[in-house]
Structure 1
């Protein structure tokens, strides 16, 4: 997600703020979070409606699986330019990023007060040994991680979804972290279709 080693501070409000407007809103508002600044993540958030997150997780998973299952092992090594990630590396990146962001959501929901470390997506990709594993293995791992994410978010109560924390200097909520996960995958699917799959020789 382009955080470049920035440290993610997971700032959980203390108990006296539990009913502050940053936490709880009317059911009519569907836990829409106020006073959060998410310009950095807005391209991802804009892709995912505020309502229906769980269905968005599932629909996006199916879209991802459809694309990646439609490729063979050789095609998954394709990169459209020197120095760009291969398709297989992008899939590994999606899995890594989802693990990181799902942990952040869990940490905020559970009341973590320690600062959470950032991560370097390029370093992770370099160290992932993506090309030493089959595309089939990557697909299986991605699906397992997404199903785990769905179970995690299904276990959050309404208050947990509204809890806010700070990531790389940007305040966000547990709800919107889920939207970021989906929006991030949607972004990469768009890139894959435009710059990768369209250039593959069938």
Structure 2
């Protein structure tokens, strides 16, 4: 299924979904982006603890945030696809980052791949009818299909930020 299969574009999530080419199949998009962060590993190692401004996250914190977000969006997709009509709560991304353990870049890259593989397996198990079921995530009506594309686009968004603001910036 592609973005064209979405019956509506969910507010807030649209900024990430729109990062994905509308012709990309969901599972293929998840597969295609599984190694995005590993491909810039050498650059990440040089800048893993760098902040381009004092209140900004480091690349390691960004990667942890991308992992956390993928786990949360996958759970939301699972719940909605299985018919759970509970309102899925929002989450405080800053709280999550503030309560992460200091991790090695290697462990984060390995976890990202494992979490992505889990997402691929999950979304592969959701049929087309379930992909289009509607649920609510913190006041926003959304489908599992949209959540899958949010995962791809969110990772792409943060990868672009790392490339633009960290890798192409001098160290201090």
Both structures adopt the same fold (TM-score exceeding 0.5): yes
Equivalent pairs, count: 170
Aligned partner (choices 10, 25, 36) of residue 63 of structure 1: 36
Residue of structure 1 in register with 2:151 after alignment = 181
Taking the aligned partners of 1:98 and 1:50, their CA distance within structure 2 comes to 21
Instruction: After superposition, give the CA deviation of every residue in 1:29-75 in whole Å (9 maximum; x if it has no partner).
Output: 998233x45132221111112541111111112222212x2236452
Larger radius of gyration: 1
Aligned 1:35-114 pairs, distance under 5 A: 36-48=8-20, 49=22, 51-67=24-40, 69-71=41-43, 73=45, 75-114=47-86
| Secondary structure of the structure 1 residue equivalent to 2:136 | strand
The answer as to whether partners of 2:81 and 2:131 remain within 8 angstroms in 1 is yes
The alpha carbon displacement at 1:116 in A equals: 2.4
Q: Structure 2: any 5+ residue segments left out of the alignment? A: none
Question: How high is the TM-score relative to the length of structure 1?
Answer: 0.77
The answer as to whether partners of 2:87 and 2:137 remain within 8 angstroms in 1 is no
Question: How high is the TM-score relative to the length of structure 2?
Answer: 0.90
- Cα RMSD between the aligned structures? 2.1
Taking the aligned partners of 1:30 and 1:177, their CA distance within structure 2 comes to 11
Distance 1:30 1:187, change over 3 A: closer
